């Protein structure tokens, strides 16, 4: 699961690096996240008490697969401010897509790889940016809506991770993802 999350995280940062230039002026043209708009695509959270906000398909990306034996969903979000990027990545693995229902809560992955994992990373936007997922210590991802007609999913999340390089604890609370595409 860590390799999948790292690859997804890396792809997400490439989109930001090459799709957004240096990132310092990207958010000037983007309105604030409207958490009351039921059609808005966004991811919000608090990271160690600091607001995190990403909106729209440019800054919120998903990838899903429904292969024989499992269903996986990865959600990545990037918050860019003054040339710095903060990114959250979530991944859910279930037996099949039909198993992902409203009010389901996914926690740490089990021995078979089913469950949820997450990562947080931040740094200066550059072509040399190194992406490395943190080790998830605890996680809860609750599904609040699945729109089969429009192929979107919404939910709430929180997690605690350890940055193994610095031994720093990262606490993500009050996480919400809204209307993210199910590919």
pLDDT digits (tens, 9 = 90+) for 153-175: 999 999 998 877 788 889 999 99
Whether 147 shows a pLDDT value over 50: the answer reads yes
Domain boundaries, the chain: 2-181
pTM: 0.76
Give me 85's structure tokens.
Answer: 């990027």
- pLDDT tens digits, one per residue of 44-94: 999 999 999 988 766 777 777 777 778 888 998 888 887 788 889 899 998
Torsional sign, CA 75, 150, 176, 97: negative
């Amino acid at each position: 699961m860590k390799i999948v999350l790292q690859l997804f995280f890396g792809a997400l940062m490439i989109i930001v690096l090459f799709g957004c230039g240096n990132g310092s002026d990207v958010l000037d043209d983007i309105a604030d996240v409207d958490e009351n708009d039921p059609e808005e695509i966004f991811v919000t959270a608090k990271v160690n008490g600091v607001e995190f906000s990403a909106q729209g398909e440019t800054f919120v990306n998903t990838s899903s697969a429904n292969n024989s034996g499992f269903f996986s969903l990865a959600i990545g979000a990037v918050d860019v401010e003054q040339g710095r990027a903060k990114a959250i990545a979530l991944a859910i693995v279930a037996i099949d897509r039909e198993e992902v229902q409203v009010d389901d809560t996914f926690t740490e992955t089990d021995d078979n790889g089913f469950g949820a994992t997450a990562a947080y990373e931040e740094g200066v936007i550059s072509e040399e940016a190194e992406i490395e997922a943190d080790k998830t210590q605890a996680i809860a991802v609750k599904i609040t809506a699945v729109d089969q007609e429009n192929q979107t999913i919404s939910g709430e999340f929180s997690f605690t991770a350890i940055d193994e390089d610095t031994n720093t604890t990262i606490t993500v609370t009050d996480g919400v993802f809204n209307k993210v595409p199910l590919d």
